[in-house]
């Protein structure tokens, strides 16, 4: 079974703190994604990576950065957390290729910024 794990289920941080969210997948997937999920807005793509050290901005990258130093690990960084970044953060991975667009999701990290 594909397994995608996220470092924390719940996280509480203060405004201005630097926050790291970690995601690890164990299936040698090329693609990894970070989404945030907010009520009424669905899932919105923050960043995407298709290979080590490669990244592309999604729809809402402002206030976030990412790091992918190893194929299995994709980190989301909030440089200076703000209250409007309180949200559920979901990491996903998938194989690259026409027939392999299924995404596997981690359990999510519910981040609260106070």
Partner 1 sequence: SQQGEEDPQALSIQEGENATMNCSYKTSINNLQWYRQNSGRGLVHLILIRSNEREKHSGRLRVTLDTSKKSSSLLITASRAADTASYFCATSIGGTYKYIFGTGTRLKVLA
Cβ count near 70 (within 10 Å): 10
Residues 83-112 that bind partner 1 (CB under 8 A): 88, 90, 92, 96, 101-108, 110
Nearer to partner 1, 40 or 69 (CB): 40
Tell me how far apart the alpha carbons of residues 29 and 70 are, in angstroms, rounded to a whole number.
11
Nearer to partner 1, 16 or 107 (CB): 107
Exposed (0-12), middle (13-18) or buried (19+): which is 44, by Cβ within 10 Å? middle
> If binding is defined by CB under 8 A, does position 48 make contact with partner 1?
yes
Among 41, 80, 83, 114, the residue binding partner 1 under the rule CB under 8 A is 41
Q: For residues 78 and 64, is the Cβ–Cβ distance under 8 A?
A: yes
Coil, strand or helix at 110 = strand
> If binding is defined by CB under 8 A, does position 21 make contact with partner 1?
no
Could you tell me how many helices (H) and strands (E) the chain has, helices first? 0, 11
Nearer to partner 1, 34 or 79 (CB): 34
Binding site for partner 1 (CB under 8 A): 4, 31, 35, 40-45, 48, 50, 56, 58, 88, 90, 92, 96, 101-108, 110
């Amino acid at each position: 079974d594909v397994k995608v794990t996220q470092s924390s289920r719940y996280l509480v941080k203060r405004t201005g703190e630097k926050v790291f969210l970690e995601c690890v997948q164990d299936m040698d997937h090329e693609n990894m994604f970070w989404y945030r999920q907010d009520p009424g807005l669905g899932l919105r793509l923050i960043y995407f990576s298709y290979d080590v050290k490669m990244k592309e901005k999604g729809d809402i990258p402002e206030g976030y950065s990412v790091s992918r130093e190893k194929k299995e690990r994709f980190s989301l960084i909030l440089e200076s957390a703000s209250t409007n970044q309180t949200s559920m953060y979901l990491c996903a991975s998938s194989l690259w290729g026409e027939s392999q667009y299924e995404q596997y999701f981690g359990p999510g990290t519910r981040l609260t910024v106070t």
